[in-house]
Structure 1
Amino acid sequence: MIPTAEQFDLVVIGGGPGGYSAALYAASAGMKVALVEKDALGGTCLNRGCIPAKAFLETAAVHRHVAHAAEFGIEAGAPPEAITVNFAVTQARKQKIVAGLVGGIAAMCKGRKVEVFNGTGRLGAGRIVTVSLNDGGSAEITAPSIILAAGSVPRLIPNFERGGPIMTSDEVLDLDVVPARVAVIGGGAIGCEFASTFADLGAQVTILEGLPKILPGLDNDVANVVVRSFKKKKIDIRTGVSVTGHTPNGQGGTVVQFGDGETLEVDAVVVSVGRRPYADELGLDGTGVKVDERGFVVVDEFCRTGEDGVYAVGDLINTPQLAHVGYAEAILVVKQSLGETALPVQYDRVPWAIYCHPEVAWAGPGEEAAKEAGYDVVVAKHPFKFNSRAQILGETEGLAKIIAEVGPDGRPGRILGVHMVGPWVTEQLSGGYLAVNWEATVDEVAEFIQPHPSLTELFGETVLSLTGRNFNG
């Protein structure tokens, strides 16, 4: 132990969701906390991910509403194709939202007496964290508990270096115009959100995905709804293709080469092939912290590394790259630091949400995954097209699907998975999430009363149908 190192109860390296939530949660429990962040507080989620991307998606939603206003009796005075998008205003609005939230985190840190070190933290032997401060100075801090929460960065692919029309999810969020023609490389959750955004704003969008289908891992019924909707938006989905390179066209755009000699001329390329853990600047020399061949910090189910008192959370470890998973891991670690009972995160039951249009949300395994896991299952699914609130909204695409385990009596029993696609399903999942995580049975959840008219009625009716009786559908 270096006597000159400033002492804390907890030191957190990284100010993203896992890091700042750990710092604030620990401080609320009375711990003396230091938080090290070299960039803006909030990390990828707040500054270059979830929040700005959803701000863009909301602009796309407003565009859709205006385009269909006449269906509601609102005469906007111009045909839908004449609607203009001032994306510079969209960008300014997004920046205002982000700045407000970043400021809010800073204010909470100050209010709870979390000491924020603006710089890069490197962990060395004896749980000493050396901080290279952004102002050119340095500091040494230490604590009985250290949390590594350095986050992740976009993965890159050969022959697609950042610059000009080639963007990752970082750069695309700085656009102040809507490109006319966009290629999205990668058909996962992030890629589909960007494809949905730009298509709804009038761009010609092509998704290039190497796997046989977009949104791999989703329940097939849910994924098929998204594919049909995307095709209605005229999104060109190319699956099972490899992207090999591109050639700038001299006009600010580029020609992408893919598949078997195919080409596609576009104004912008969004490389969206996932994110890699960012352990690059953590140091770790002289410690028992291990990094695997994929760059993840190795931890056990309690987020403990190989170094006593050192933990890792969030995108830095090989768990679902979701901000709310980072929050849960932060609480898990802080409870251990406080000597309290802590239960590992049940990663197979966490809530998932994709904010494309139509939205997707789920908890627990889909039908195919449940069967592959050896469960004897029964399934019920109901479409939104018969839901009164969905018809009022004019958003009838989608369905709710429940996967239940067959009980000893041969009837549907425990609810294993709840999968939804359609209007505002990301806001409707909580009931399904609770059902899955409380291991509730179909009969138990069928007793819950859903408000009418509401979108959540569809979840209730789908569960009710598994009892063998129903009054709708």
Structure 2
Amino acid sequence: MSSSHDVVVVGGGPGGYAAALYGAAAGLDVALVEKQKLGGTCLHVGCIPAKELLETAAVYRTVAHADQFGIATGSPEVDMAAAQARKQKIVDQLHNGVGKLLEGRKVTLIDGWGSLGPDRTVSVSGGESGEMTLTADHVIVATGSVPRMLPGFEVDGQRVFTSDELLSITDLPERAAIIGGGAIGLEFASMLADLGSEVTVLEALPRILLGADDDVVKMLTRAFKKRKIEIRTGVAVTGCRHSGDGVALDIDGDDPLNVDAVVVCVGRRPFTDGLGLDDAGVETDDGGYVVVDEYCQTTSPGVYAVGDVVRTPQLAHVAFAEAIVVVKHLLGESPAPVDYDRVPWAIYCHPEVAFVGHTETSAQEAGFEVATSVHRFIGNGRAMIVGETDGLVKVVADRNDDGTGGRILGVHMVGPWVTEQLGQGYLAVNWEATVPEVAEFIQPHPTMSELFGESVLALTGRALH
């Protein structure tokens, strides 16, 4: 069996289904090949389930401290089975929604594994759609990623986990070790600590959360310490051994760490297993990522790649943006390539972290004379009202001769709900707005977003508070 289409998308995660939806909206005949569930890692074992369980942790934390607001309650208890059921209900609703959107746009959905061949052909096998060959004017590879593992660690979903397995746990460990101090590791550390686990974060690098400003990292580290989350940096974990009912982690130059569960969060690798990239003339780099140009074109004419399978930030919203660029490009339009240095980042630990653009250090390294402004949530009325005052907003700007701020280069936040507050900072950085321009905007009161306005206003040389 064979069929021909304008575009064949291989992979149904955020990059894949976004490319299919956007291409179909432009009138293209699109086929999407996926063997697993539509929605990919983000929907099923990533963004959505992780944030749902983090919200469960937030509710538990709120109830546990309700007496501070004059609400008398007993000690809350965690019912992980109920939390998992709620999580799954949300995932299922979103999964069904993606399928209905694709069907509504007349995208041809094909169940099976896709393998690339020469001349933009895709062979499909192993699924309910049967074996077939698809041909297309353009092929988009969007097969995503899978967790990286460490040598000597065997995932069993009982004592040793990756993010995939941890998001389905029904029993909370008393003691947990998180290997990796990036976004995923910190979110899991925060969630487990809120729900009652004793948590240790082990990071091989000298600091956690690369990409965030130093002031943000320092504030987050202090906040974690207050919550009794131990962060150990510069740590080399050399082995993992089952010990009684738990796990013993061998640490270079230190005593073993004994815990009930270990979560490996050392990044994700591109998933290209059995994809046939060599047969299609698609080049990969030494890390297995598909090599693309600024428009996500591979080395094979007419073949594109988006999302985690390419060496760009592994974020669903980046995959969405790349998908739009690809469709516009194959239509002959002139899209602006994604500016990866100005991508918004959001980490949903407690307190939350959000940032975009240059840090103070990276701006200086890029040759800018820098002016910065830092304001803390401890003086913000709305933060006081909700009882969440740990955190700060830092604005990094190009410095004028008089010491005031010029163009806004970066915005870095840590604190309550900052993932929902980054929007105006993102717009400022990406529109290359200046401090005087942004300072004119009125911030509603009382809101947490006032802190961004205060930080920008201070860079004019005339602070309000």
TM exceeds 0.5? yes
Does structure 1 conserve the Cα–Cα contact (< 8 Å) formed by 2:110 and 2:129?
no
* Counterpart pick for 2:341 among 340, 348, 369: 348
* Counterpart pick for 1:165 among 148, 153, 159: 159
**Residue equivalent to 1:111:** 104
Q: 2-side partners of 1:136 and 1:160: how far apart?
A: 36
1:241 deviates by 1.1
How well do the aligned residues superpose, as a CA RMSD in angstroms?
Answer: 1.2
1:87 deviates by 0.6
Q: 1-side partners of 2:403 and 2:464: how far apart?
A: 23
Does structure 1 conserve the Cα–Cα contact (< 8 Å) formed by 2:118 and 2:279?
yes
**Residue equivalent to 2:59:** 62
Q: 1-side partners of 2:272 and 2:16: how far apart?
A: 14
Question: Secondary structure at the residue paired with 2:207?
Answer: coil
1:161 deviates by 1.4
* 1:288 paired to 2:272: no
Does structure 2 conserve the Cα–Cα contact (< 8 Å) formed by 1:47 and 1:98?
yes
1:180 deviates by 1.0
* 1:405 paired to 2:398: yes
**Residue equivalent to 1:360:** 353
Does structure 2 conserve the Cα–Cα contact (< 8 Å) formed by 1:168 and 1:272?
yes
* 1:197 paired to 2:191: yes
1:408 deviates by 5.9
**Residue equivalent to 1:234:** 228
Mapping 1:15-34, distance limit 5 Å: 15-34=12-31
Q: 1-side partners of 2:225 and 2:204: how far apart?
A: 18
The code of the aligned residue for 1:204 comes to E
Does structure 2 conserve the Cα–Cα contact (< 8 Å) formed by 1:11 and 1:143?
yes
* 1:45 paired to 2:39: no
Q: 2-side partners of 1:94 and 1:158: how far apart?
A: 31
1:287 deviates by 2.3
* 1:439 paired to 2:442: no
**Residue equivalent to 1:74:** 71
**Residue equivalent to 2:371:** 378
Does structure 2 conserve the Cα–Cα contact (< 8 Å) formed by 1:359 and 1:426?
yes
TM-score (norm 2): 0.98
* 1:176 paired to 2:149: no
Q: 1-side partners of 2:329 and 2:12: how far apart?
A: 20
Of the structure 1 ranges 405-414 and 202-211, higher mean CA displacement relative to structure 2 is found in 405-414
Does structure 2 conserve the Cα–Cα contact (< 8 Å) formed by 1:243 and 1:256?
yes
1:143 deviates by 1.1
The code of the aligned residue for 1:95 comes to Q
Mapping 1:180-259, distance limit 5 Å: 180-251=174-245, 253-259=246-252
Question: Secondary structure at the residue paired with 1:433?
Answer: helix
Q: 1-side partners of 2:365 and 2:330: how far apart?
A: 38
Q: Report Cα offsets for 1:263-294 as digits up to 9, x if no partner.
A: 12211110000001111121124322101110
Q: Report Cα offsets for 1:120-164 as digits up to 9, x if no partner.
A: 100100111001142382111111111000000000001111113
Structure 1: gaps (5+ residues) = none
**Number of residue pairs matched by the alignment:** 464
| Identical-residue share of aligned pairs (%) | 60
Does structure 2 conserve the Cα–Cα contact (< 8 Å) formed by 1:379 and 1:403?
yes
**Residue equivalent to 1:99:** 92
1:374 deviates by 1.1
Q: 2-side partners of 1:294 and 1:44: how far apart?
A: 20
Q: Report Cα offsets for 1:282-320 as digits up to 9, x if no partner.
A: 112432210111000000111000111100000000111
Does structure 2 conserve the Cα–Cα contact (< 8 Å) formed by 1:133 and 1:139?
no
Question: Secondary structure at the residue paired with 2:280?
Answer: coil
Q: 1-side partners of 2:171 and 2:8: how far apart?
A: 41
**Residue equivalent to 2:463:** 470
The code of the aligned residue for 2:290 comes to V
The code of the aligned residue for 1:32 comes to D
Q: 2-side partners of 1:158 and 1:334: how far apart?
A: 39
Q: Which runs of 4+ in 1 moved over 4 A?
A: none
Question: Secondary structure at the residue paired with 2:128?
Answer: coil
Question: Secondary structure at the residue paired with 1:15?
Answer: coil
Q: 2-side partners of 1:6 and 1:249: how far apart?
A: 55
Structure 2: gaps (5+ residues) = none
The code of the aligned residue for 2:125 comes to S
Q: 1-side partners of 2:126 and 2:19: how far apart?
A: 21
Does structure 1 conserve the Cα–Cα contact (< 8 Å) formed by 2:235 and 2:251?
yes
TM-score (norm 1): 0.96
